[in-house]
Amino acid sequence: MLSTIQTVLLCAGSFITSSLVCPPNPTVLQDDGVIIILPPRSNDTGLKKVPDAAHPYMPPGPTDQRGPCPALNTLANHGYLPRSGIVTIQNIMDATREGFNMDHDLSAFLAGFALLARGNAKYNLLSIGGVDKRVPSLPAQVDGDCPPGGIAKHGRFEGDVSMTRQDAALGDDRNFQDSLFDQFLTFIGQYGDNSTVTGPHSLVNLRVMQEFKYQRFIDDQKRNPALSFHASRVASSYNEAAFILKFFANGTDETLSVPSLGSIFRNQTFTPNWWRRASPGNLSLITSTASMINSVNTLFYIPPGENKGGKYMPDPPFYGCDPAYYDFVTNNLPYTYAMIANGTDIFAQNVRTLLKAIATPFKCPEVPPNGPKDPSNNCGSSLTNRI
């Protein structure tokens, strides 16, 4: 095998490029991998109009990947992320800061977990949609026989009780669903705040999120016998509801109107005259908002658990540092990463960097991955094309 340096030198020095020796994008196919260095914390974290002139909306083309995250889809549609939807961790961290003012450590955790769970951490490549041949398989079946699924693949990150996507067991878990969004609108119409600009009951607020999320859980609990809602999924699910309140709101007045919500969810574009929030949104802002939505002191509270024989069975209490962090790493990342992390090559270094990025915002001591590899009978679930 050629080393990275050999490949780059050979390709750079040759006028006759062979596709066998010189890949079209040498950074993607270097033998040794691509080292991950997280971007530094930025000082550019104030109120800003988004998008700017350099980032016009363009609909995705036929080979561009889009998936279950309305924010990443929107960032890709505006070119803050590569429009192909094939991204690196640095791409995500830069884009989520520029577009939404997401805090450095929060985006490093989310993107780092996604890369380890559903991407290729050796080459620093992740699809924001489904499987894609531009994201190669991991070496030596580190995560089983399947190619990396992309963030749309059910399990680990994409999960049950989403707001605008169905549970995988019930329907389309990747693309925006009108029927679910209509339920969302109904709750805004009933519990939303009034606006002099967009009208009565047209602004999303905490009560709307409490009622809507509770309804989504009750509905899926009844309909999905395989409902899985353990600690990391409860965290993602309610954190995403908090993202709506804290990141989708207009930074100028911190309100989120129905037209703005529809713009980002349905059309995957920023609404006119929208500004990102005025200060970075970090994990503690998001978890404190999420715990008001899923508050133990209200009737809306849903503990972590799963359906067994049609009955929702809460998980036993957890006494460690943080139940979500523990569940993310020990149950949702394959145990093989714990062995890889002991190595000296670029892949090993990347795995260590990403495991640290995941632990950092939780302020927990690092725990080793201990989940199963992706089962080989589960290769196809994110192959559905974007519509």
Residues that bind ligand HEM (CB under 6 A): 68-72, 92, 96, 100, 102, 107, 110-111, 114, 151, 157-159, 162-165, 236, 240, 243-244, 247
Q: Which of 245, 23, 11 is nearest to 134 (CA)?
A: 23
CA atoms of 230 and 238, how far apart (whole Å):
12
Smallest separation, CB 10 to ligand HEM (Å): 35
Cα 189 to Cα 206: distance, rounded to the nearest angstrom: 14
Q: Do residues 107 and 92 make contact, with C-beta atoms less than 8 angstroms apart?
A: yes
Q: Which is nearer to ligand HEM, 143 or 158 (CB)?
A: 158
| C-beta of 160 vs 337, nearer to ligand HEM | 160
d(CA 136, CA 84): 15
Phi, psi of 230 (to 5 degrees): -85, 180
Smallest gap from Cβ 329 to ligand HEM, in A, equals 15
- Distance between CA atoms of 284 and 267, rounded to whole angstroms? 29
Could you tell me the smallest distance in angstroms from the CB atom of residue 182 to ligand HEM? Answer: 13
E strand segments, 278-373: 305-308, 311-314
Taking the complex as a whole, the smallest distance from the CB of residue 134 to ligand HEM amounts, in Å, to: 17
Among residues 7 and 337, whose Cβ is nearest to ligand HEM? 337
SS3 label, residue 41: coil
Q: State the minimum distance, in angstroms, from the CB of residue 194 to ligand HEM.
A: 24
Q: For the packed helices 70-77 and 89-100, what is the interaxial angle rounded to 10 degrees?
A: 90
Query: Smaller CB distance to ligand HEM: residue 92 or 121?
Result: 92
**CB nearer to ligand HEM: pick between 16 and 178:** 178
- Helices 346-359 and 104-118: crossing angle in degrees, nearest 10, is 130
Q: Identify the residue whose tokens are 């962090």.
A: 325
Tell me the closest approach of the beta carbon of residue 7 to ligand HEM, in angstroms. 30
Q: Which helix (H) or strand (E) holds 217?
A: helix 206-223
| Cα–Cα dist 170/187, whole Å | 22
Least distance between ligand HEM and beta carbon 21 (Å): 34
Cβ proximity to ligand HEM, 87 vs 348, nearer residue: 87
Q: Using the minimum distance from each CB to ligand HEM, give the nearer residue, 7 or 261.
A: 261
The amino acid at 223:
R
Q: Smallest distance from the beta carbon of 18 to ligand HEM, in angstroms?
A: 36
85 closest CA partner among 151, 33, 37:
151
Nearer to ligand HEM, 76 or 92 (CB): 92
Instruction: Give whole-number Cα distances, 56 to 90, 255, 296, in Å.
Output: 21, 24, 43
